[in-house]
A = this chain, B = another copy of it.
Amino acid sequence: MPYVNIKITKEGATAEQKDRLIRGVTRLLADVLGKNPETTVVVIDEVETDNWGIGGEPVTALRRKEKEELNG
């Protein structure tokens, strides 16, 4: 019956990776708390990098800086 919401930036997670997240979280809740996997719900939100901020900046800007440093 648990409900889990995972928010990540939209940067190319594949269906197979999301499958592994769903599987892994569901198993974790069964292992740690004995929760029934059948009714465990997992929802993954993939958020545009313009819409995710950390350290007061959109991730779009962080990624640009990282690239410039690599290329610089």
Q: Please list the residues of chain A having a beta carbon within 8 angstroms of any beta carbon in chain B.
A: 1-9, 13, 15, 17-29, 31-33, 35, 37-47, 50-61
Contacts and interface: CB of A to CB of B under 8 A. Distances in A.
5 contacts: A1-B8, A15-B60, A19-B57, A21-B28, A23-B53
Given A5-B4, A20-B32, A52 B41 contact: yes
Given A19-B61, A21-B53, A38-B55, 19 more contacts: A4-B7, A13-B33, A15-B60, A18-B58, A19-B58, A21-B29, A21-B33, A22-B58, A23-B56, A25-B28, A25-B53, A26-B55, A26-B56, A37-B56, A40-B53, A41-B54, A43-B51, A43-B52, A43-B53
